[in-house]
Structure 1
Amino acid sequence: MDHLIEFWPILKRLLVYLIPFKKQLILAFILLLSGSISEVIGPILISYFINNILSKHELHFKIICIIIIIYIILQILSVFFNYFQSILFNKIAVKVISKLRQDVMNAALRQPISQFDSQPIGQMISKVTNDTEAVKELYDTVAPTLFKSITLIFIILFAMFTLEWHMAMIALLILPLVITIMLIYQKHSTPLLRKVRYYLADINNKFNETINGINVIQQFRQQNRFKKSIQNSSELHYIARMKILKLEGFLLRPLLSLLSALVLCNFILLFSCFKIGAFEVGVLYAFITYLGRLNEPLIAITIQQSVLQQSIVAGERIFTLIDSPKQKYGNNKTILKSGKINIKNVSFNYDNCKKNILKNINICIPSKYFVAFVGHTGSGKSTLANLLMGYYPIKMGKIYLDDKPINSISHSSLRKNILMVQQDPIVLSDTIFANITLGRKISEKKIWQILDTVHLSSLVKSMPNGIYSRLGEEGNNLSVGQKQLLAIARILVMPPKILVLDEATANIDSGTEQLIQKTLLSIRTKSTLVVIAHRLSTIIEADLIVVLKKGEVIELGTHEELLNKKNCYWKMYKLQLSRS
């Protein structure tokens, strides 16, 4: 019962996507119906020819020619109608899936960051690609096939009862037997189909893992282990597929053909038992033809049941993502006048962690200040930066930006006024121009000025197409430092009131670090700088250094003040000096 409760709402919701294409859908169904009728009329014509011309030996050339022409026209019309209905259904399906993918992608883009913390990225990609492709089959295969099959069954049965109701009643006996076979097939095939989808997803995941980690795999000579792992998943997938094929091979065509043969024997028996002339030879031919054609729609319905179930399961996964809570922001759209930050009594823990990552943080940062967060791994530096960005809702305490509560600020205002440069910046597989502008309207002259500021102009000039030179996937033709400078260049297009740098200098050489330092000096006159520092040498000039330990602020002050205290910061600084 629970299965039915879940099945129908999802199916209904998937069918709602067809409403904008109502007229095209009606036309497609009319074409499909016309094609089915054209197929069924053919045997009636042949039956008429056998009964009224061939059996009576009255071979009228003109009538024979007319029957042949009509028969050929019906076959051509059937091909014509079936071709265009197939094109129409596929056209509708592609448009519907395009809209569905947009909705899924839009939902994914609006997910809270916490959602990406709790589930693999591959699962979300699978919903946008594989699951929408599975749903596509509902529109271009399942719906037309079921409609055509059911229509054909009713038209064939109607034609049978019109020709000879005694024989039609015998043919009707096949239906309960076929329904029983369908239910048995459905019961045994459904768990196998689930296994096939699971093993296929497993193979895709392992390929993805192997390709992404190819450097480590080759370095530690793990090729054979990964090869065997994929082989094992492929073998399991093969076994499950073979079980389905064997099930189809036994329960569908051979068994249905056996039932048809038994019904045909009954026809012949009935034909021989009644007196001569009670049944015409043409009628027997028509029934034999219809019986053969009745098998195909019945098999199609059985197979489409499994495909329909897969579409519903995929639809359920898609709607789970679409219906999941979106990132919440405030309604205040006013631009921040300053980069003042006030953090009051903030404590925080992630959804999957009961222990507080931050504990009663209180910091006041004036506008255009250079503040640094330092501390050992796990001290809460990046978590605090994420809260400043508005990535997570604040459960305990308050954060004020320009004296406005952060949860009252709108998404557009927040993104214009506070930006972040991460440790591993994202570089698009596109031109340098596109990577800096990110869709914003900026002149080439302004881009070159920004490139001069971040000391990348000489590199770009050396490229074949200048700012229109394409970068490789994830910027693989740039060094880590050049990626960082490119990420800062994006910021300089429209300098924010607050700029957060999350360990942006952690993986770069000292030369690039100096270039970034020079760039930050130019930004500092316009923005409040919040730097999460790994290298303490980069924050010597900071107006305020905040030392965190296990989520608590243990020291506050300038570089000189903290060194004079000879406490935690002093120990960290001395340790780094001894290693350099």
Structure 2
Amino acid sequence: MRILKLQAWEDRYRARLEEMRDVEFKWLRKALYSQAFITFIFWSSPIFVAAVTFGTSILLSSQLTAGSVLSALATFRILQEPLRNFPDLVSMMAQTKVSLDRISAFLQEEELQEDATLVLPRGITEVAVEIKDGVFGWDSSLKPTLSGIQLKVERGMRVAVCGMVGSGKSSFLSCILGEIPKMAGEVRICGSAAYVPQSAWIQSGNIEENILFGSPMDKTRYKSVIHACSLKKDLELFSHGDQTIIGDRGINLSGGQKQRVQLARALYQDADIYLLDDPFSAVDAHTGSELFKEYIMTALAMKTVIYVTHQVEFLPAADMILVLKEGQIIQAGKYDDLLQAGTDFNTLVSAHHEAIEAMDIPNHSSEDSDGNSSPDGPVSAKCNPEGPDIDSLAKDVHDSVASSEQKAIKEKKKAKRSRKKQLVQEEERERGRVSMKVYLSYMAAAYKGLLIPLIIIAQALFQFLQIGSNWWMAWANPQTEGDKPKVSPMVLLIVYMALAFGSSWFIFVRAVLVATFGLAAAQKLFLKMLRSVFRAPMSFFDSTPAGRILNRVSIDQSVVDLDIPFRLGGFASTTIQLLGIVCVMAKVTWQVLLLVIPMAMACLWMQKYYMASSRELVRIVSIQKSPIIHLFGESIAGAATIRGFGQEKRFIKRNLYLLDCFARPFFCSIAAIEWLCLRMELLSTFVFAFCMILLVSFPHGSIDPSMAGLAVTYGLNLNARLSRWILSFCKLENKIISIERIYQYCHIPSEAPAVIEKSCPPSSWPESGTVELRDLKVRYKENLPMVLHGVNCVFPGGKKIGIVGRTGSGKSTLIQALFRLIEPASGRIIVDNIDISTIGIHDLRGRLSIIPQDPTLFEGTIRGNLDPLEEHSDSHIWEALDKCQLGEIVREKELKLDTPVLENGDNWSVGQRQLVSLGRALLKQARILVLDEATASVDTATDNLIQRIIRTEFKDCTVCTIAHRIPTVIDSDLVLVLSDGRVAEFDTPSRLLEDRSSMFLKLVTEYSSRSSGIPDF
């Protein structure tokens, strides 16, 4: 959802979901009308059977008496109840078969090879990892992903893996873990393994739980892990420390923080073999150096470590370096040996050194290295000889920086004292009775409620005609065999058939109307909820686990689609039938009302007593489904990590625990229904017995025997009908809770309007691309601390702005504020003299372009991912692919631009996904481009190439670049340095490098010293 909002693609993808819903709706229409027809058949079958039986008797000249007719009618009514329940059974059996078929198809899917990797006990051999003649491929029908892999890693070795984007580095780690299908060869590892994937996988829960990952707490080890992963300062900034709840997919952590939590999780497990997939790309230069020193060189000094990296500066410390190209190890050896050998490794290193040499770092004298601040302060205000007057851009920054340290200390203390609420809260749950407003809203959802009275009228006419047909048979037939019939047999048959088939017709009308009403209401609710969710602010998705949303749009919507219409229709029909039974019995023996009224009061009391508990149980059941769905989705996303740590049993146990948490209230809910059924049966049986005693106690001749028989016939059904009426109401209210939950999501607070007609910017806006930040203060939520504290600066139009700072300093938050994913707590952002808060968010986001930190691909095709709005020709798409170095890769695919992309882009490497994001930006050609760690997952050579493309293709655009690689921002026109959400420095790179106290100089020096040769670790 984040990428959809950033790109202003919500309408397009919502339309795609609506198209999918239309396909589903066609099948739903068939299902509901089929259900309506089945309901008509089984509700009418007792009537047809009675008509055929009586008609046959009359045609065969058999003598019918009131006694035989009423006995037959009583028998038919006894059979009627199970027959009317039969449609529910048929529907349930059909749904069960579909579910079983889907489960069966899933269970028959190809599984991982259990023998792909042979795991030997710790210490049995000195060889930690060995691969012989390995051939591996994600798809057996295509060219192998890895081939000819020969590797032997001794225990305690550090092995670095490098190569160009798409060379197979991540797949190489996967083959050691046994995650990629093995076509040939052997893989053996000795001891336990820990795995850190390239795309951070963070569980919902607090930070401590993510680090422990099921292991018991060891305070000493825990503290050492926090130190080794440079997490101490970050935890101090969180209001709840390591008890801070992490949102869905670590949404409230920066990319670097997520990566370091992953590293801490791996380190805490104390495994024998560590497999690290590009773990330093998401952190700044200083943090990366500290991590490498404290984590790999110190904490893992005695462990076997295989790490993939694009940072050439970390290669010299490896005992062995593997160079991959097109799925093969083309070089292996030590750093110096590979350099002397030349070829591909030399190309990677040369590109890195060229980038370092391009940085012109002043050589300050030793006497100036005492760290004293220059007279100009941390933000230089010297004249810039090039371009516009830069002095004015820095003048507002001085005031905000002067007291930054004191403000930071105050904020930390305030956060600790307040212990603010967590980002993710418990799922919202209504309490008490379901509001009548929910019922009325649902009934008005389809055709403004016009079908409801028609359904009631159809059911009432059915009941009236059915009673009339039974009364006709009881009245028209003689009391005994010797009596003369009141009408001729043919008249008797014709009238009865007319009444019987008339009642059947109204049953058909009622069933069709119920299905029509249910379809219209379900579709309207779905579309309303879908649009509400798509219009929700990003904070909603940050604080709401995906499982909760899926629970409502799948399970609750399924109840609305398939269940509630017939529950509502069933309740209406049961109510009218019950009234008919009471009327018939009261007509014959009005005295029965003396008992029926108190009985009804007793029933209502029991219903109220039952519903008080049952209603809450159903709500709890609905809520308990969300964690199961969320854990399942979360486990699938992190399956490689879970298996890599050998944690399958723990997650299965956790899933079973959540199933138990769901089953307990569900079982209690079913038991509560049985509790009510028992009492209703006892009560109705007592009333029926009383009526029978009353009837037989009347003097002979005081009651018409035919009417008495009719009363008995209906009285036999009173037991089941009364219980069914109460149960149908209770079940209806329990099911209505799904509508209640959907309405909660239909009324999610919406983000700003997509388009504001009165303040639409000109079609040419922004023309220059000037961005002005005025006292910008941002927090993620009202109850959370500030992330940005009064940012003041101006990005001149057409200039290249580098944004740097320590991990968690607020860089990505600043970009989110620019795109209005987060609305500022105060302050303004002005783009080309227009306050962006005054225009529609689609007008804003549609004029900006971004290459995000976490590249996202959607299931579909390459063409659909590059141009989802279908605005560009194939030639333009190919041109963009060529520029972002993906053209040849896509041309090699059989389907070219229609090459499939799996969910989350799993069949493309992270680096390739970032290149696709670059392709999107090239096609969009916005005047303002934001690069949020856009090249973090590509090698230095590819990074340099991308930077050249950006300088060429976006030479007249404002480009804001967030990067941890200093060469990426060193040639920017201006550099903004953020620290703890405040502007620490903002000036040209040359001036900042001349300032001995500059934070930017320290970052550059750190990066340069780390990168210029073999680090002194």
TM-score by length of 1: 0.89
Q: Which residue of 1 aligns with 2:826?
A: 396
Q: Give the Cα separation in 2 of the matches to 1:195 and 1:408.
A: 42
Q: Give the Cα separation in 1 of the matches to 2:517 and 2:831.
A: 48
Q: Which residue of 1 aligns with 2:816?
A: 386
Alignment map for 1:363-378 (pairs within 5 Å): 363-378=793-808
Q: Which residue of 1 aligns with 2:535?
A: 110
Q: Which residue of 1 aligns with 2:649?
A: 224
- 2:692 matched to 1:268? yes
Conserved in 1, the CA contact under 8 Å of 2:571 and 2:725?
Answer: yes
Q: Give the Cα separation in 2 of the matches to 1:413 and 1:299.
A: 58
SS in 2 for 1:399: strand
Q: Which residue of 1 aligns with 2:545?
A: 120
Q: Which structure has more RCO (C-alpha within 8 Å, separation ≥ 6)?
A: 2
Comparing 529-538 with 202-211, greater Cα deviation is found at 202-211
Q: Give the Cα separation in 2 of the matches to 1:333 and 1:35.
A: 62
- 2:616 matched to 1:179? no
TM superposition shift of 1:173: 5.4
Q: Which residue of 2 aligns with 1:487?
A: 917
Alignment map for 1:274-313 (pairs within 5 Å): 274-310=698-734, 313=737
Q: 1:333 to 1:258 in 2, by over 3 A?
A: same
Q: 1:390 to 1:282 in 2, by over 3 A?
A: same
Q: Which residue of 1 aligns with 2:999?
A: 568
Pick the structure with more helix per residue.
Answer: 1
Comparing 273-282 with 451-460, greater Cα deviation is found at 273-282
- Spell out, residue by residue over 1:423-458, the C-alpha distance to the aligned partner (whole angstroms, 9 max, x if none): 112211112222122123322222222222222221
Q: Give the Cα separation in 2 of the matches to 1:345 and 1:248.
A: 60
Q: 1:213 to 1:429 in 2, by over 3 A?
A: same
Amino acid at match of 1:232: Y
Q: Give the Cα separation in 1 of the matches to 2:692 and 2:745.
A: 58
- Spell out, residue by residue over 1:163-209, the C-alpha distance to the aligned partner (whole angstroms, 9 max, x if none): 44345655555423332332332234233323322333333233233
Conserved in 2, the CA contact under 8 Å of 1:547 and 1:553?
Answer: yes
TM superposition shift of 1:533: 0.7
Q: Which residue of 1 aligns with 2:984?
A: 554
TM superposition shift of 1:255: 3.2
TM superposition shift of 1:496: 0.8
2:973 to 543, 546, 551: 543
Q: Give the Cα separation in 2 of the matches to 1:14 and 1:340.
A: 50
Amino acid at match of 2:625: L
Comparing 71-80 with 531-540, greater Cα deviation is found at 71-80
- 2:465 matched to 1:34? no
RMSD, aligned CA: 3.0
- 2:419 matched to 1:9? no
Comparing 467-476 with 293-302, greater Cα deviation is found at 293-302
Question: Where does the alignment leave 5 or more consecutive residues of structure 2 unmatched?
Answer: 1-429, 1012-1017
TM superposition shift of 1:140: 0.3
Alignment map for 1:505-524 (pairs within 5 Å): 505-524=935-954
Alignment map for 1:83-102 (pairs within 5 Å): 83-102=508-527
2:660 to 224, 231, 235: 235
- Spell out, residue by residue over 1:253-293, the C-alpha distance to the aligned partner (whole angstroms, 9 max, x if none): x4333333333333332333223233344333322321233
Percent of aligned pairs sharing the same letter: 25
Q: Which residue of 1 aligns with 2:141?
A: none
- 2:682 matched to 1:258? yes
Q: 1:368 to 1:218 in 2, by over 3 A?
A: same
Q: Which residue of 1 aligns with 2:769?
A: 339
Alignment map for 1:125-274 (pairs within 5 Å): 125-136=550-561, 140-166=565-591, 174-252=599-677, 254-274=678-698
Q: Give the Cα separation in 2 of the matches to 1:75 and 1:535.
A: 84
Comparing 407-416 with 429-438, greater Cα deviation is found at 407-416
Comparing 419-428 with 516-525, greater Cα deviation is found at 516-525
TM superposition shift of 1:215: 1.8
Q: 1:83 to 1:247 in 2, by over 3 A?
A: same
For these two proteins, the number of residue pairs brought into alignment is 575
Amino acid at match of 1:427: L
- Spell out, residue by residue over 1:21-53, the C-alpha distance to the aligned partner (whole angstroms, 9 max, x if none): 62x54544443333333443344244336xx42
TM superposition shift of 1:322: 3.5
Amino acid at match of 1:159: V
Amino acid at match of 1:9: K
Q: Which runs of 4+ in 1 moved over 6 A?
A: 2-6, 59-62
Q: Give the Cα separation in 2 of the matches to 1:495 and 1:558.
A: 26
Conserved in 2, the CA contact under 8 Å of 1:138 and 1:307?
Answer: no
- 2:899 matched to 1:474? no
SS in 1 for 2:550: helix
Conserved in 2, the CA contact under 8 Å of 1:134 and 1:310?
Answer: no
Q: Give the Cα separation in 2 of the matches to 1:108 and 1:204.
A: 18
TM superposition shift of 1:70: 5.5
SS in 2 for 1:357: strand
SS in 2 for 1:390: coil
TM superposition shift of 1:528: 0.9
SS in 2 for 1:496: coil
Q: 1:311 to 1:431 in 2, by over 3 A?
A: same
Q: Give the Cα separation in 2 of the matches to 1:515 and 1:94.
A: 55
Q: 1:3 to 1:428 in 2, by over 3 A?
A: closer
Q: 1:9 to 1:527 in 2, by over 3 A?
A: same
Comparing 296-305 with 374-383, greater Cα deviation is found at 296-305
